[in-house]
Amino acid sequence: MMDSKALAGKIAEILDNKGATDIQILEVGHMTSITDFFVVASGRNVQSVHTLAEEVEDKLAEEGIDPRRKEGKNGARWIVLDYAHVIVHIFHPEERQYYNIERLWQDGSNQEPYPET
């Protein structure tokens, strides 16, 4: 089993390879007890959001990693995949701008660049 930081990086890589945009990894373990990392990404449209979520689920399932919960699949404008230590948020661009969860969870030091610079 990979550690939470490695899992967050793998998820970001899967999303990147499938065409997600504006991928961000946020370390939030020091701010909440619910998870260690958020991976936040955008799809270009509703179909893209749905496809990105399926790709993450499929690729991680190949390694025996399944989400504890998933939300938002019906509307596909904001899909959340809960992998315990990593929670994945895949947004339609309009919802991402509206909810701006990065602003709520950034503290100036917890953003992991992706791709790494």
pLDDT in tens, 16-70: 999 999 999 999 999 889 999 999 999 999 999 999 999 999 999 999 999 999 9
Instruction: Give me the pLDDT at residue 75, please.
Output: 80
**Percent of the chain predicted with pLDDT > 70:** 96
Question: What span, in angstroms and rounded, lies between the C-alpha atoms of 20 and 83?
Answer: 19
Question: What span, in angstroms and rounded, lies between the C-alpha atoms of 58 and 1?
Answer: 17
Asked if residue 117 has pLDDT above 50, the reply is no
CATH number of 4-112: 3.30.460.10
**Smallest Cα–Cα separation from 59: which of 91, 3, 115, 15?**
15
N-term to C-term CA, the chain: 26
pLDDT band at 104 (very low <50, low <70, confident <90, very high): confident
Token readout for 15 is 């999303």
What mean pLDDT do residues 79-90 have?
Answer: 97
